[in-house]
């Protein structure tokens, strides 16, 4: 087990600086353009693939870093560059984590490489969980998966929404209901291979922020996938459903469902994304406050501005430490006995919203224009308190964990 440390080692620092260079030299100059275009920045993703930044090997190395800091370090630097472009680069990772969390070794080896493609033929993947009537309330999910035993196929029907890379992905990972009587415990995850008939893109959303990231509905109409595309396999699913039925009868301990296993593993990473955006806005505000003259002196000479910057930096550092702690705990098998993963996501997300709003305020009228990046950062930051579990859901998870009571 790796010891917890606040200091990156030399190799980690080298990787951090390498990612930071890409974010500064490639992502930032293109950020405003792709935000305005509201399109997937394929040329930027390809540039990342060419240097190995968008690749299965790179993310595997960071994911299995024994300190747990590889992924949060990567996320912070990329999202420091630009949140929309960064999400286009890392969005495939949520689908990959879905397979890692629920799949067999064979499924992991077969499908995750196809999610990324290669530098000459870049691919992306999509994780499809949310539905028009089932976001935070996963128990209301309606997309069904029915097993056709004669053909050893699963038939999927339903509509998914808010899917990053939905419809444009090479591989889709879809969470569906296999036993409606078990509520959220009757869910399973499925791979939908490229070119599968019946899967189509629905509405593409025009968003407030992270506009360079493609977000759309995914429509599943009589989509048939082989039995081997059920993540974890049917034997494991049958065993899990049987346990869930027994526990439901006895009123016993709840089991985690497939979607929650994915989100639980990714929450500290989302916190790191928020830290990156907050840090970027803080740095712009700090530089501006040092150079902007009002009443014959830089505005940072005023306590009203200086104290805001002090609070911003304090919250950013605190958020990073919470993210690092949760990431270290996760990779070293330490249970989140106080919902530390949700704590890190909650605090970092709220920090990003607060810090970017303060940055806009410090820049005044300039902060409200698109001539300065804090306006875009403020729009981007809004998503962190919404996706992969709203702030309200994080508070619910934390309260339930601490109290042992099913607070509603």
Q: Which residues are catalytic?
A: 388
- 155-175 as b/e: b if 16+ CB within 10 A: bbbbbbbbbbbbbbbbbbbbb
Q: Which of 388, 168, 408, 166 is nearest to 260 (CA)?
A: 388
Rounded Cα distance between 148 and 155, Å, is 7
Q: Please answer whether residues 330 and 268 qualify as being in contact, where contact means their C-beta atoms are separated by less than 8 angstroms.
A: yes
Look up residue 322 and give its two tokens: 């919470």
Q: Please answer whether residues 67 and 328 qualify as being in contact, where contact means their C-beta atoms are separated by less than 8 angstroms.
A: yes
Q: What is the DSSP letter of 229?
A: G
Element (H, E) at 218: strand 215-226
Element (H, E) at 128: strand 125-128
Query: Cα-flanking dihedrals φ and ψ of residue 364, to 5°?
Result: 65, -135
């Amino acid at each position: 087990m790796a010891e917890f440390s606040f200091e990156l080692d030399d190799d980690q620092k080298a990787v951090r600086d390498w990612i930071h260079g890409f974010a500064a030299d490639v992502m930032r100059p293109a950020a405003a353009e792709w935000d305005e275009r509201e399109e997937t920045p394929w040329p930027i993703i390809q540039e990342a693939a060419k240097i190995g930044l968008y690749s299965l090997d790179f993310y595997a190395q960071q994911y299995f870093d024994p300190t747990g800091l590889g992924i949060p370090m990567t996320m912070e630097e990329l999202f420091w560059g630009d949140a929309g472009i960064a999400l286009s680069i890392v969005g495939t990772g949520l689908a990959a984590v879905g397979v890692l969390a629920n799949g067999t070794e064979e499924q992991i080896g077969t499908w995750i490489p196809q999610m990324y493609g290669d530098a000459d033929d870049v691919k992306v993947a999509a994780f499809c969980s949310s539905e028009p009537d089932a976001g935070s309330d996963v128990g209301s999910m309606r997309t069904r998966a029915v097993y056709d035993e004669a053909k050893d196929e699963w038939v999927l029907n339903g509509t998914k929404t808010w899917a990053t890379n939905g419809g444009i992905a090479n591989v889709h990972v879809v969470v569906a209901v296999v036993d409606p009587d078990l509520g959220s415990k009757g869910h399973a995850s499925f791979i939908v291979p490229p070119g599968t008939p019946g899967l189509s893109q629905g509405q593409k959303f025009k968003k407030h922020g992270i506009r360079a990231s493609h977000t759309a509905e995914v429509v599943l109409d009589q989509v048939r996938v082989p039995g081997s595309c059920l993540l974890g396999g049917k034997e494991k699913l049958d065993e899990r459903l049987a346990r869930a039925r027994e526990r439901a009868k006895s009123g016993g301990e709840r089991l985690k469902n497939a979607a929650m296993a994915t989100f639980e593993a990714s929450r500290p990473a989302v916190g790191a994304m928020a830290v990156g955006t907050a840090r970027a806005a803080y740095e712009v505000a700090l530089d501006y406050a040092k150079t902007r003259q009002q009443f014959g002196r830089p505005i940072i000479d005023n306590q009203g501005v200086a104290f805001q910057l002090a609070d911003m930096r304090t919250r950013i550092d605190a958020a990073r430490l919470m993210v690092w702690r949760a990431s270290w705990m996760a990779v070293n098998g330490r249970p989140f006995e106080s919902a530390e993963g949700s704590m890190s996501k909650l605090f970092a997300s709220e920090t990003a919203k607060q810090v970017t709003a303060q940055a806009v305020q410090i820049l005044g009228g300039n902060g409200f224009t698109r001539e300065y990046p804090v306006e875009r950062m403020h729009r981007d930051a809004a998503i962190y308190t919404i996706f992969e579990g709203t702030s309200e859901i994080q508070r619910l998870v934390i309260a339930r964990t601490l109290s042992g009571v099913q607070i509603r």
